[in-house]
Amino acid sequence: MALLSTVTATAARIVTAIPDPDAVQPPGTEGFTAIMGWAKWIALAVCVLGLIGAGALMAVQSRRGEGGEHVGKIGMALGGVIVISAAGSLVGFLMSA
């Protein structure tokens, strides 16, 4: 039992001794982050256009008596919005951890 507490105390000291530097963006990467921001906004705009298109198809299919197929299109567009919106936050979280 004494050996276990010694090992645990030593492991705790080792973990607290590991440095945790602040995340700093490398110089010269400002253009890359600008491109990533543009890509995110373009992808979200495409998803919004997809939602508008799915809504229009829903109206046309409802008029024709066809139904149910538009739900999958709306779900895929909303799923895309979630993934695109979460991408920046997820990468930021992983970089800070």
- The answer to whether 73 and 50 have CB atoms below 8 angstroms apart is yes
Would the pTM of this model clear 0.75, i.e. be above it?
Answer: no
- The answer to whether 83 and 47 have CB atoms below 8 angstroms apart is no
- The answer to whether 88 and 40 have CB atoms below 8 angstroms apart is yes
Q: In angstroms, rounded to a whole number, what is the distance separating the alpha carbons of residues 40 and 80? A: 11
In tens, the pLDDT along 3-34 reads 777 878 787 777 777 776 777 778 887 888 78
In tens, the pLDDT along 28-76 reads 878 887 888 888 888 888 888 888 888 888 878 777 776 666 777 788 8
The band of 97, judged by pLDDT with boundaries at 50, 70 and 90, is low
Residue where the block lists tokens 């024709």: 64
